[in-house]
Amino acid sequence: MPNARRLHPELTVTESFDEAVSGAEIVLLLTEWPEYRELDPDDLAQKVAARHILDGRNVLDPHAWRDAGWTYRALGRP
């Protein structure tokens, strides 16, 4: 985190996932880390302002996210 803050002072860096998504209008998933691949769409919906997610790694189940009321988009998928 210190390196990210130093290299990109224009960005807001948070200490936790919950803090990062709190009130978000859109969630960008840009990693394949297991803790993010295993996100629960219903749990996440309680933390964000709007249910929009861009799966940049194609690791989420599109049907599960759409069924939970999310606008789901993924790179390279229709």
Report in angstroms the alpha-carbon separations of 77 from 18, 62, 72: 27, 10, 10
The residues spanned by each domain of the chain are 22-78
Q: Which pLDDT belongs to residue 1?
A: 79
Q: Which strands sit side by side in the sheet containing 27-29, from one edge to the other?
A: 27-29, 52-55, 71-74
Q: Is the pLDDT of residue 78 over 80?
A: no
Choice between 78 and 11, residue whose per-residue pLDDT is larger: 11
Structure confidence by residue, pLDDT tens digits, 21-50: 999 999 999 999 999 999 999 999 999 999
Average pLDDT over all residues of the chain:
95
Q: Radius of gyration over alpha carbons of the chain, in Å?
A: 13
pTM (predicted TM-score): 0.86
Q: Which pLDDT belongs to residue 77?
A: 82
Q: Which pLDDT belongs to residue 4?
A: 85
